[in-house]
Structures are given as structure tokens and as C-alpha cells.
Structure 1
């Protein structure tokens, strides 16, 4: 998972906090000496707005209310919610369902997310999986862009966790610019976006774990970076291990050899969504998708007892970190 390089100048100011069950950090050049309390409030307010709309862990969030609603009910979405949902639906269509915003019932069935049944330790039975899959399908969620509204088709449960965290990074970046800040690096739970430059004029840089114990230094010159994979979140029962990354097309956790995918993109929301898409598609189809859509992606694949890496054509030539 990417992390800021430690060689950033000591003159930079740093803020941190918590959101979405994880942490956020901000490094900024602040020549106008804007009060740090104001900067912190600006970042936290942007994050809190995303949580209030799209967190399935918050029972009063917009997404939770939709998920509980009855069949046929129409819901007018806030602009941010509609933007994230539109992004997820766009890539769902482009990838034949490798990402699916209606995946919530499957997430819970496999023991992840806010609605997971803690009493169920093992994987679901084929009958349970078949029953829940009937509630999943991105085509069931029709977003009307003119009214920013969606209709609950019955039993649908949205889960935007594969997109919302990256979007939150973008919203913080926009809020900081509106506050008058131009040069900063914002990170939320391992997803990052850079704006401007460090005080020494160099671009912001992050370390990306290409192989276990090996990192590459990547310059984020007006770019965002996001990582998806099974190296951090998984469950295990009676010798079977499964990833939190589910394939909406089969209803089951991904079973290929990809350990992680990292994507570079100007927008963190897009990087976040695309990292999920490529992880689900797997090594061969994921690389083909990245090439077809002109994406900068780094893949880490399990190879026997170790790992190997491969990259798309758009990925920058890495510099090995010390």
C-alpha cells in the first residue's frame, strides 16, 4: 500500500485524524500561514460529509436509509453520492460487472462490512449464495442523472467502499484548494492525492510496495494513487482463506493469483474504482483492461512461494527505494 516518502522537508506542516474506520494524514506547504485548526476543520468536514452520505457503518447515512427502504421507493441523492454511484456504474458497464455498487448483500454474506453476521464463521452454502445473488446486479440500480435519483428495486443494498474512499480524498483536495492551499499531499487509508509541489520544487513522492520487502519510489505530479488486493483484509475458516475482494459476477471471493493492484490516475475516485476492477479481473484480463483503457497499473502476483510484478505500459519507470 502506498505511503509518503520520509524525505519530505521538515518545514512541511502535518495534520492527521480518523475517518471511515481508518486514518487520514495531510502534509502541506502553508506559505500564507492559514491557521492549522481551520485546515483541520476543512479536511474533516469534507470527510464527514462523505461518511454521512455513503458509510454503511452509519445507520443514519443516506446509503443505509436507501438499503433499508422498501421496494419502489425513490431517493434523491446528494451530488456527491450521485457522482460516486455514477462512477461505479460506469466501470461496472465497462468491465461487465467486475465492480458492482449493489454488492452489499454479498459482502455481508462472506463476513465483511457493517452488516456481516458475526455468528457465521465459515463460507456460505451454495443455497445461501444463490439466494443472495438474486439481490445483486448493477443493472438493477438505475440512476436518473437529470433528477439525481434512484429507485429501490427491492432488497438492493449498495456498498460504495470500492470508490468512496478515493472520492473522499478528492473532496478533501477540493476543499483545501478552496481554502487557498496549493501544495499538499492528502492520504486516507492508503489512498493518496498530490497537488502542487514540495517546498524544494520536487514533486510529491510515495513508496509503493512492489514485492514484500521491496518498495519503489513514485512521483505523484498532480496524480492520485490507490491500491486494492487481498494482502491486508481476509478471513480464514478451517484452512480456507478468502479475500474481502469479491467477484460480483460469481458471488465469490476472487480466486486468482493476484495479490494487489496499484493504479495511478489524476482522480483518486477513479484510481480507487479501477484498482478494484483490475483486482477482480485478475492478471491476464486485468492487464488487458488496463492497456485497453490506457491505465497506469502495477500488478503483484503470487508466484509459487514468492511474488512477481508486472506493469501496464503507462506505469512510470520505477526508481528502487533505499
Structure 2
């Protein structure tokens, strides 16, 4: 795990759903004091349940000195939660007006040098900066579930974000064992979600048109593309598809096929029939395995897979030009 930076001592997490609790688990595992706020009834109990679920995986990955679940404190107001924090991670539901309202409160009460990171999966930071007194310290810091295991965090600056804010955030997230990817141009959905949504839309079409079941679509990814993508991603995978001449030959050979109508860019209408196909397909595929058991299996797999990925892509590879070293 990375070493924490001295300027960051106390972290605030606003909104403790799946993503917020994932952040709490990662921050606690790194030895930070974490202050949380969520007005929903039973939030604190749900967070403790999430921590109990995540902690075995974090122990396997390796806990930082001082890591302790007891370093989490829930506060009754946003002001009390953020007033002493060095970094505030916002994770409220993906509704623009709600996020703007919560961010305005955070902005009003946070220390002047605190970084505000929004976990939004789709809203551009320039939109979230509207109306803030200190928009220069707000960025998108979008993680991936489970946050306490998956290292990628997309950092996106808005039009009013200070360059120093991005630099500080990049160093901080790298110091807690993450791979910060600074997106060069803000866009709805950022980078990774846009790629995943394209595959998701095509998957829904295949199920809707009766080409494949949900289980068959999952199998196509698990035993095919997914195995390759975990190591190389789509570009290097296709680079190998070109043989000795790599991508140059691949584009010459298969480039014309991109014009063929193999995929559908528009999502299908989410009819009741399609919903039922997807829901019953997933429930049938999962069988008697509970969500908690599926999460445990996923976590065990990801911990082992990350170890394998690191052995093939050590920190000294060319990927460090994009993904920051710890």
C-alpha cells in the first residue's frame, strides 16, 4: 500500500451508500481518521456492515500502520463533518441539483485548502462548480466498485479547477494505493464508464433480440475479452491481433469492418419484457448464491487478480506515464 502524505490527516466522506462506504473502508485501511455524514436512517449500521464485509480483503491486501475501524466517526451535520477535513469525498445520489446543494454546503464549511472530490460517475466538474465560492478546489474523483480493492480513480478538472488542486489530488490518491488517471478533457461519463456503457448497451440489445441470455453474455466476456483486457486493455490486445506488424496491420486488415453494422450505439427501449429477461436471467444465473456470497467471491478474485496484474505490469513500465506511481 502507498504511504500517506503528511498534509492529509483527516478525511470526510459525505454520503455513505455503496461508493461512500467503499471510500471509508479504503481510507480507514490506510490509517486515516475518517469523519462521515449521511442523514439517512440506519446509515451508521449499514456502514459497519459494509466494513465487516470489506475488511478481510483489506487485510489480505495489507493494512497501513494505524489502520483501525474505530477511527471512523459519524457527525450529525455536514458542517461538523467537513470543517477540519483535509479532503472531502462527496458521494450523494447522482442527481445534479442534489449534488450542487450538498457541494455548496461543503464549500461553505470546509477549510480553505481542503480538496473537494466528487465521486460522480457522469456529471462534469464544471457543472458542479457552478455557484461555489471556491470552485478552484473541486474536482471529480470517480472510483470503481469495490472502491477498497479496485485502484482506478478518474480525476477530472473543471474549467475553474486550480492546477495545483489536481496535482495534490493526484499525489494523494496515489499515496493510498490507487491509480489516478487524469482525464485530459471533461466529458459526461468521463472515460471508463463511457467504455463500459457502450458494452452494456450492446449486451442489452443481444438479450433483447434473443441472440443470447444474460449468462451467455457474461460467459463471452469472462472467458474471452475479459481475460485479455485485465492484462492489456483493448488497444494492446488489438495490437497483438496484427501479428508482427502490430496495430498497423490490424487496422489495414480489420479497419474496414468498423463500418459494418455489427453494433448498435443506441440503447434499446427498456421495456417490461426486456427488464424481465435481464432480471430473471441474472437471478437464474446466481441461483441460490446470495449477494453477500457473490461479493465475497468477487473480492477474493479481485485481490488475486490484482496481484497477477502487478506481476505482469510492474510499476516501472510505460503505463506510469499515464498511471501515477505509488
Q: TM-score, normalised by structure 1?
A: 0.28
Rg comparison, structure with higher value: 2
Identify the structure with bigger relative contact order (alpha carbons < 8 Å, sequence gap 6+): 1
* Structure holding more helix per residue: 2
Q: TM-score, normalised by structure 2?
A: 0.28
